[in-house]
Structure 1
Amino acid sequence: MSVEQFGIMPDGTAVERVTITGGGLSAKILSYGAILQDLRLEGHAKPLVLGFDALEDYFTYKAHVGATAGRVANRIRDGRFELGGKIYQLDINFAGKHSLHGGTKGIGLRVWNFDKIDTNAVHMSLQLADGEMGYPGNMTIKLVYTLLDNGVLDLDMKATSDADTLCNLAHHGYFNLDGEGDILDHELQIDSDRYLDVTAELIPTGKILSVDGQSVDFRKKKSIRSAHDIKPIDNNFCIEETAGSLRRVATLSSPKSGVSMDVLTTEPGLQAYDAVNLKAGMPALDGGTSGPCGGFCLEPQIWPDAIHHPNFPSAVLKAGETYHQQTQYAFRKV
Structure 2
Amino acid sequence: MKTNFEKYGRKDDKDLCEITLENDAGMTVKVLNYGATLEKVLLDGKNMVLSLKTPEDYSKQRNFLGGTVGRIAGRVRRGQWKHGNEIHQLPLNDGENHIHGGVGTDMQVWDFRPFCGKTARVDLTLFDPDGHNGYPGNLRLHVRYELDNDNILHYRLDATSDQLTIFNPVNHTYFNLGERAENLTLQMNADYYLPVDQEGLPNRGIAEVAGTAFDFRKNKRIGDSLHSEDEQIKLRNGLDHPFILNGNNPAAVLSSEDHKLTVITNAPALVLYAGNHFDHTGVANNIGQYDGITFEAQCPPTEGNDLGQITLLPFEKFERVVDWKFE
Q: TM-score, normalised by structure 2?
A: 0.90
Paired position in structure 2 for 1:222: 220
Q: 1:204 to 1:316 in 2, by over 3 A?
A: same
Partner of 2:295: 298
Aligned to 1:249: 251
2:194 equivalent to 1:199: no
Q: Does 1:36 align with 2:38?
A: yes
Q: Point out where structure 1 has 5 or more consecutive residues left out of the alignment.
A: none
User: Which one-letter code corresponds to 1:102 in the other structure?
Assistant: G
Aligned length: 314
Give distance in 1, aligned partners of 2:108 and 2:67.
10
| Structure 1 vs Structure 2 CA RMSD | 2.1
In 1, distance between residues paired with 2:149 and 2:306? Answer: 39
1:13 CA drift (Å): 3.0
Distance 2:317 2:85 in 1: 22
State the partner residue of 2:187: 189
Deviates more, 1:210-219 or 1:17-26: 17-26
Matched residue type, 2:106: G
Q: Distance in 1 between matches of 2:192 and 2:145?
A: 30
Tell me, which stretches of 5 or more residues in structure 2 are unaligned?
none
Q: Secondary structure at the match of 1:160?
A: strand
Shift of 1:8: 2.5
Which of 305, 311, 316 lines up with 1:316 in the alignment? 311
Give the aligned partner of residue 210 of structure 2: 212
**CA deviation vs aligned residue, 1:238-264 (integer Å, no higher than 9, x gap):** 115xxx8x9410001112xx1010000
Asked if 1 retains the 8 angstrom alpha-carbon contact of 2:34 and 2:59, the reply is no
| Aligned-partner SS, 2:46 | coil
Q: In structure 2, give the amino acid aligned to 1:8.
A: R
CA drift at 1:290: 2.2
Question: 1:19 — aligned with what?
Answer: 20
The Cα offsets for residues 209-259 of structure 1, whole Å up to 9 and x where unpaired, read as 01011101000111011000022111100115xxx8x9410001112xx10
- 1:256-295 per-position Cα deviation (integer Å, ceiling 9, x unaligned): xx101000000000001111211325667xxx92211111
Q: Mean alpha-carbon deviation: is it higher for 322-331 or for 198-207?
A: 198-207
> In structure 2, what is the equivalent of residue 101 of structure 1?
100
Structure 1 residue aligned with 2:5:
3
What TM-score comes out, normalization by structure 1 length? 0.88
- Once residues 83 and 116 of structure 2 are traced to their aligned partners in structure 1, the CA distance between those partners, rounded to angstroms, is 40
Alpha-carbon distance between aligned partners in 2 of 1:206 and 1:136, rounded to the nearest angstrom: 30
How far residue 64 of structure 1 moved from its aligned partner, in angstroms, is 0.3
